[in-house]
Amino acid sequence: MKKSRKTKLTNIAALVLTIAAVLLLVYIAQGLVPTEIDDTIKTESTTATTTPTTATTEATTEATTDSPEATIEATTEEPHELTTEEQALEILSGMSLKEQVYQLFIVRPEQITGSSEKITETGSDFEEGLSEYPVGGIAMFSENIIDREQTVEMISDMQSYSSIGLFIAVDEEGGTVSRIGNNSAMGTTSFPSMKTIGNTGDTDEAYNVGYTIGTEILELGFNLDFAPVADVDSNPDNTVIGNHAFSTVADVAAEMVAAAVRGFEDSGILCTLKHFPGHGDTGTDSHIGYTELDKSLDELWETEFVPFVSGIEAGADLVMVGHISVPQVTGDDTPASLSATMISILRDDLGFDGLIITDSMQMEAITDRYTSAEAAVMAIQAGVDIILMPDNLENAANGIIEAVENGEISEERIAESVLKILETKIEAGIID
């Protein structure tokens, strides 16, 4: 404070002297003051004018020297930390339409290289293929997984080839669907069927399944699990769900599903509820043909939707939509995975705002009735975000690109899903 007053006084004195000098010069010019003192006044004026500059410089130098930290704090602004949405928008703004469209696909590694043999390592051919087909993710199966070292290396290599981090997905439910847990070379935990877990009536057991599986596969480099099953095994004649489901009772299944989701979430792995709207009361298997769920919307709310609502509320990241036709709800035989009506129910009525992914598009419920391009376009038009394993990746992607170019699908619709995918990847640490 003392230095500040000194500076102000010096400046005031200098200003007074300057004004006085100017007045005297005016008087001299008008002949009111003897010219003999003109030189003296000019000298004093120069001195007075120079004084405040010197004083100000000294004060500034002293202040800067005495407190460099204060000067830095006053002149340096904190850098703005981008929000997740801002980071995603920044990435999206640099993507071509082709890159955006391919981000909508998760495929097998063989679909990148065109190999007829199962891939257990990736090199330049995969890198070149990923450059041509810059997909959003890779799904690995038992044939791609030999042991821990090989799996870690393969996943690490695939990630290194991607300009945008990849979803690395696996079907790891526990029970018979355990690509990793049933491989003794992986050294991970093997779980009984989810029906066995559900029969315990102990939700802690379901939580442990999610947390343990999530933790163990995350260590290998996976970041997405296509689990848990949220179907209700309500039809004893059903040939596809059976003991994959936690229970034949909707409320029991719901409690177990929610606990498993919390386990997955706590482990740090992304998880997926499947197979919406429910595959437990169908008479046929969508893997091998047309599959129908002959129920009204009210009936779905009473049984099939119950575990999905519970899992969504618990924080599930993705919902997988099955190729299940629900004619009483949609009015036709369009599979739920391609139905705007069913996707709208999932979004608006069940309140799911995460990523919606189709079941594998290589299932005969799709391939028997649609081309890869037709199915892909219908899925995106319906509101799906990610297409899983189309029968022909290039045809599926080109079909969407052509639909955008001819106005069937808007660029905004593509960007909407891509932005959601990018945000999910950023939040999961897949994109740094």
Contacts of 36 (CB under 8 A, 6+ apart): none
Question: CB-based burial of residue 103 (10 Å sphere; 0-12 exposed, 13-18 middle, 19+ buried)?
Answer: buried
Helix%, strand%, coil% for the chain, nearest 5: 55, 10, 35
Q: What is the CA radius of gyration of the chain?
A: 34
Q: How far apart are the first and last CA of the chain?
A: 48
Active site residue 323: no
Active site residue 244: no
Q: What is the DSSP string of 154-168?
A: HHHHHHHH-SSPPEE
Token couple for 87: 């980071």
- Choose, from 38, 157, 285, 287, the residue flagged as catalytic: 287
Give the contacts of 397 (CB within 8 A, at least 6 positions apart). Answer: 98, 101, 102, 105, 133, 376
User: Which of these is catalytic: 359, 368, 385, 432?
Assistant: 359
Rounded CA gap, 14 and 113, in Å?
Answer: 81
* Beta carbons of 262 and 268 less than 8 angstroms apart: no
330, 318, 319: which is closest to 292 by C-alpha? 330
Q: How many CA atoms lie within 13 A of 342 on its CB side?
A: 36
Residues with a known catalytic role? 287, 359
